[in-house]
Amino acid sequence: MSDKIIIFDTTLRDGEQIPGASLTRFEKLEIAKQLEKLNVDVIEAGFPISSPGDLESVKEIAKAVKRPVIAGLCRAVKKDIDACRDALKPAKRGRIHTFIGTSDIHVKFITNTTREEVLRRSIEAVKLARNYCDDVEYSAMDAARTDFDYLCKIVEETIKAGATTINIPDSVGYSEPVEHGKLIHDLMNAVPNINKAIISVHCHNDLGMATANSLSAAMNGARQIECTINGLGERAGNAALEEIVMALKVRKDVYKLETNIKSEEIYKTSKLVSRYTGIPVQPNKAIVGHNAFAHASGIHQDAILKKESTFGIMTPSSIGITGHELVLTSRSGRHALSHRLSALGFKAEGEELNAIYTKFLVIADKKKEVFDEDLQALMETEGKKGFDAAYSLIDLYVATGIKITPTATVEIKINGKSFKAAGIGDGPVDATYKAINSLVKEDVTLLDYQLRSITGGKEALGEVSVRIKKGAIEVNGRGLSTDVIEASARAYLDALSKLARAKLSKV
């Protein structure tokens, strides 16, 4: 049996199913390109039947990303499989991934049928998918709660029908590591043709054991792990790619398994996904959290300085953290900025570099030090977004105090023309948003507002993330400034621009 674990990333499918984590087509493509740099083996690009926009996003990713296998998810239904076929036509290496619930509770309450009917539909779905594609994955949804003998039968028959990968998911996060490992072990020994397919696992984190369950499955014969960046996904999320990869790398003595992942790209990928989805990474998150390599205890600090391995089992550089040293000031030129951006993995040339340099100088004039985190945030929030913003901030004036009603006057550009308006509110941000609303005239609901400091100190760069909703459309917006009110305005206008674009393109 191979000692290589296939990393199947489903950030763009399961990860995007978090409420509010909607991504534009451009953002999905940028994440897919970064996943290719990370060297994942399979990218599950979406659920094509779910919307015309998702089908087109999968198709664009299939065109642009060539090394990984590009997978599309579909129910065991002909129209779903046909949509997958259409979306994956441009793919150099495509995979149709079909699924159906196999546990008794799913059979009864979701498909409202019988075990025999589910088996029949599973076989037919795999056969149809094989007519379109040589690479077919079948998932027995809620396998962890499926009757074992029935699961063996359905695995055997779908392999006979042509499935090349069989996924045994813990769809509701019910398993624990010994149990899930034993399930894989028992299947490997009970299904006569199991060696003709790759066995995969897709573990959810409802009890906080998704990573442990996935690793236990791998030790018992699974050779594909389905996971997401930052552990994003339905409910409590999925097994986190960064945890799976670094566990296998750091504890190779235990697992004796490896992946193709370029771990130095992990941190950048994590930050990109966090910014585009608007879902922050908790500070104490394993591997990629802000505190993952921080040491506050004096005893720990002294030990680390003497010998890093005393309290460090992996280095920051192993996941691509470049450090927090001073890198640039207001006296730095374009060449220095370009060089540092390149080191961080960004490419900016010509007019784009000039525009970024102008914005960099505004930040540098307000700060004594400009750090890598500042530059990364600048590029992610103010760099090329793949479309022209419908709304942009020209000027902002805010008056507030303990005994006065907060007021704001804004000047914004709407489709190339300048407009001014004033508003009052409960606070300066509320007043600013009401002034903007009087010009934009969109009846939206503000679902979420988050402010965080990119770096430390009184002149720290602030990043604001907002999520707004109109009808069925939810979008995220981000804004960056040393002034939190300005950052708030930019984030709101960014979200409104995405909303306008989504309404036009139905994405």
H helices present in 133-190, as ranges: 148-161, 177-190
CA 211 centroid distance within chain? 17
Query: What pLDDT is stored for residue 210 in this prediction?
Result: 98
pLDDT, tens only, 203-231: 999 999 999 999 999 999 999 999 999 99
Give SS3 for 45.
Answer: strand
Element (H, E) at 132: helix 115-132
Determine whether 365 is exposed, middle or buried from the number of CB atoms within 10 Å of its CB (0-12, 13-18, 19+).
exposed
Asked if 179 contacts 212 with a C-beta cutoff of 8 angstroms, the reply is no
Residue 31 phi/psi, 5° resolution?
A: -65, -40
Element (H, E) at 227: strand 224-227
Give SS3 for 405.
Answer: coil
Parts of the chain with a pLDDT under 50 = 324-326, 507
Query: What pLDDT is stored for residue 507 in this prediction?
Result: 45
End-to-end CA distance of the chain: 43
Strand partners, 94: 70
Residue 80 phi/psi, 5° resolution?
A: -65, -45
Query: What pLDDT is stored for residue 348 in this prediction?
Result: 84
Distance separating alpha carbons of residues 334 and 355, to the nearest angstrom:
11
**What Cα–Cα distance (Å) separates residue 189 from each residue in 57, 168, 197, 200, 317?**
40, 15, 14, 15, 41
Residue 90 phi/psi, 5° resolution?
A: -80, -5
Query: What pLDDT is stored for residue 36 in this prediction?
Result: 98
The side-by-side arrangement of strands in the sheet containing 391-399 is 391-399, 407-414, 417-424
Residues in the chain, how many?
507
Strand partners, 395: 411
Residue 308 phi/psi, 5° resolution?
A: -55, -35
Token readout for 259 is 């992946």
Buried/exposed 297-318: b ≥16 CB within 10 Å, e otherwise: eeeeeebbeeeeeeeeebeeeb
Kindly report whether the global pTM for this prediction surpasses the value 0.85. Answer: no
Three state DSSP letters for 346-357: CCCCHHHHHHHH
Query: What pLDDT is stored for residue 75 in this prediction?
Result: 97
Can you tell me which residue has the tokens 């370029």?
262
| 6-277 homologous superfamily | Aldolase class I (3.20.20.70)
| 391-505 homologous superfamily | Alpha-isopropylmalate synthase LeuA, regulatory domain (3.30.160.270)
Determine whether 321 is exposed, middle or buried from the number of CB atoms within 10 Å of its CB (0-12, 13-18, 19+).
middle
